[in-house]
Amino acid sequence: MPEYEFVEKPLLNQLASMGWQVYEQSAGIPQNPGLSLRSSFRDVLLKDEFTRSVKAINGLADGRPG
């Protein structure tokens, strides 16, 4: 899989080096949406992860999560 080897994998490595959490499913067509925190491959937004992240970076004035 040249595209995976030369494009996707280097990008995943770069994101991981920047502190991103990478859920790699390796080369080929993914079969299990659960491995990427989705209920379906039609999910574009990871709602639970988005909500958790927004709360984590937008805490209240007293330091509690938002």
Domain that residue 59 falls in? 32-66
**Is there a single domain that holds both residue 27 and residue 42?**
no
**Is there a single domain that holds both residue 49 and residue 21?**
no
Decide: helix, strand or coil at residue 50. Answer: helix
Short-list 62, 40, 64, 65, CA closest to 52? 65
Residue 19: predicted pLDDT:
94
Is the pLDDT confidence value at 9 over 70?
yes
Q: Which two tokens stand for residue 3?
A: 């595209």
pTM: 0.60
**Is there a single domain that holds both residue 64 and residue 37?**
yes
Compute the average pLDDT of residues 33-58.
Answer: 90
CA–CA gap between residue 56 and residue 66 (Å, rounded)? 7
Is the pLDDT confidence value at 27 over 90?
no
**Is there a single domain that holds both residue 39 and residue 61?**
yes
Residue 53: predicted pLDDT:
87
**Is there a single domain that holds both residue 1 and residue 11?**
yes
**Is there a single domain that holds both residue 42 and residue 19?**
no
Contact 8, 30 (CB under 8 A): no
Q: Provide the mean pLDDT of the chain.
A: 87
**Is there a single domain that holds both residue 26 and residue 56?**
no
